[in-house]
Amino acid sequence: MFAAGHDTRKSPMPEWTDVAPVSEFGPGQSRLVTVAGVAIAVFNLDGSYYALEDVCSHDGSPLLGCGLDQAEVMEGDQIICPRHGARFCIRTGAALTPPAYEPVPCFPVRIQDGMVQTRDNRWD
C-alpha cells in the first residue's frame, strides 16, 4: 500500500515513435520527427541509423529543421549548425568545432516490424 505522495514506482517508459519505414529511409537520408515536443533528427548513414535532438548546443538553433536543404547542413557524418557553423558528429552528438562545446543529446533507434523508431530516453 502506498501513502499519498510516496509512490516510488517509475512512470512508464516513453513510447517509441515511428520515423519511417525502412524501405523508404535509405542511406544518406534523414527525417525529422517530434517526440513529446522534442524535435529529433534521424539519419541513415551507410545503413546505420542515428538520432539526435535537433537543437544546437551553442544557442538553440534547429539543425536539420532549420529550413535549409539536407545537403546544406550535412557533410559526411557531420551536421553543421546554420547559424554560426558549429559541427556535430551525427554518430555521437559530440561537438566538433566552436562555437559549440557541449554535445547534442543522442537517442536510441530501433527497427520494429520494418519501421524505424526512436524515443527520448532521457527520463527513463
Residues that bind ligand FES (CB under 6 A): 56, 58-59, 61, 81, 83-86, 99-100
Phi, psi of 33 (to 5 degrees): -130, 160
**DSSP state at residue 109:** E
Nearer to ligand FES, 58 or 119 (CB): 58
CA 56 remoteness from chain centre? 11
CB of 78 to ligand FES, least distance (A): 13
Least distance between ligand FES and beta carbon 86 (Å): 4
CB nearer ligand FES, residue 45 or residue 96:
96
Closer to ligand FES by Cβ: residue 47 or 60: 60
| The dihedral sign for the CA sequence 94, 31, 18, 110 | negative
Rounded distance between C-alpha atoms, residue 48 and residue 31, angstroms: 14
Closest contact distance (angstroms) between CB of 9 and ligand FES is: 39
